Amino acid sequence: MEYFDLGIIGAGPAGYTAALHAASTGQKVILFEKENIGGVCLNKGCIPTKSILHASELYYKLQNSQECGICAENITLDYSKVIERKNKTIEKLRKGIELALKNAKVTVINSEAKIIDKEKIESENTIYNCKKIICAIGAIPRIVKGLEFDKEFLLSSDDILNLEALPKSILIVGSGAIGIEWARIFSNFGVETILVELAQHLLPIADIEVSKRIERIFKTKKIKFYTKTSIEKIENKTITLSNGEILEPEKVLVAIGRTPNPTVKIDGVEYIGDVSGEIQLAHYAIKQALATTQNINFEKQLVPSVVYGSPEIAWIGKREQDLEGEEYKKSTVLLSALGKAHCDDETEGFIKLVEQNGKIIGAHIVSAEASALIQQITIAMQNNIYVEKLKEICFAHPTYSEGIFEGLFKL
């Protein structure tokens, strides 16, 4: 029987981060992964999706670059090359993680593992004794009755990455981050795209003004969507919606979230990442790993969310609909007021700040570079910096960050 200070099952962001940081403190670490190092984020989620999204945006921009004086003719799309680049990107990043684990002297076992008790892991008929065990086996696409995946017509967010060719039309069920990003991808590539959302607005987890702006953008992009609508019936690849509409898409992407991988919870074992049943974001999983291996705690109410595409969408803290009945101030700066936005032809969107008792308690951004902008607000909120103090900061010009600066003076 082999002995380790830490045994980890699952090599996604939670698992490999925990392994690397525990090893950096001198611990003897063993990491089990039955599939590919990097987990869902690297292999089936964040990275492959953003790679394809980048290609779709480049394709769209080249087709709409005349106003910038660029006349590109005979633009063609080879989707197989898009997928080839996506796979190369994944492989490159995966090798980087594998090398980091090797250099950190983490023992990696590429096979399925089972937790026997709080100190024992079994894999391929071998028992490994561990002082501490972390389970980080992630999540899988949520399955709903009547919308079970068949990998041909009804696709999961995993299946959609394996398409060898673009469909002529697609119906996307659900408008969370996955649904919004894939709607943008397909629309950019010229695929007829329809979105169905059960809630009253698209991206229902976001601030109401963000949701309404996304709806406006989608209308401009001719992405058709139905809210307060569900799938009533599917028969012979013909879909009847609850509003009576009948659709015949070539493919259906069921993007209604992910659910933690089934596992038996054992006392004394720590569960982090998506399997914990908490926030399903890679950066949240990474912070959980740092908290358990380095005692670096974090404020769970201050985890930024980002939806990628053009424009990006990002938010943190309180939404306006969360503050009903409370006193608060808000400021909104339109992107069209910023010089940088005009230079970049990215004038669609806004930067919205919400303030209470002199401090920012929420920020909601629809803008180019929103994924970077939200981090400035996160730092301010995390450190309880007053709005008046933030006004003293010098913001560079011309930048999108100036929208934050202008917003401070409107509070």
Tens digits of residue pLDDT in 305-363: 999 999 999 999 999 999 999 999 999 999 999 999 999 999 999 999 999 999 999 99
**Entry pTM:** 0.95
Question: Tokens 């990275």 sit at which residue?
Answer: 47
pLDDT band at 180 (very low <50, low <70, confident <90, very high): very high
The first and second tokens of residue 301, run together, are 């109410």
Q: Are 389 and 353 in contact (CB under 8 A)?
A: no
Q: How many residues does the chain have?
A: 411
Q: Please state, in angstroms and rounded to a whole number, the distance separating the CA atoms of residues 40 and 51.
A: 15
Q: What is the residue-wise DSSP string for 197-240?
A: -SSSSSSTTS-HHHHHHHHHHHHHTT-EEESS--EEEEETTEEE
Q: What pLDDT does residue 116 have?
A: 95
Q: What is the mean pLDDT of residues 210-233?
A: 97
CA 144 to chain centre: 21
Do 197 and 176 contact (CB within 8 A), yes or no? no
Stretch among 31-35, 69-73, 374-378 having the lowest mean pLDDT: 69-73
pLDDT of 101: 98
Residue 1 has pLDDT above 80, yes or no: no
Residue corresponding to tokens 């950066």:
283
Cβ 314 vs Cβ 307: under 8 Å: yes
Does the structure show a pLDDT above 90 at 65? Answer: no
Average pLDDT, the chain: 96
Q: Does residue 148 have a pLDDT over 80?
A: yes
Residues 387 and 393: their CA atoms lie apart, in Å, by 10
Q: Residue 128 corresponds to which tokens in the numbers above? A: 């490994």
Percent residues over pLDDT 70 in the chain: 100
72 or 306, which is more confident? 306
For residue 76, the model assigns a pLDDT of 93
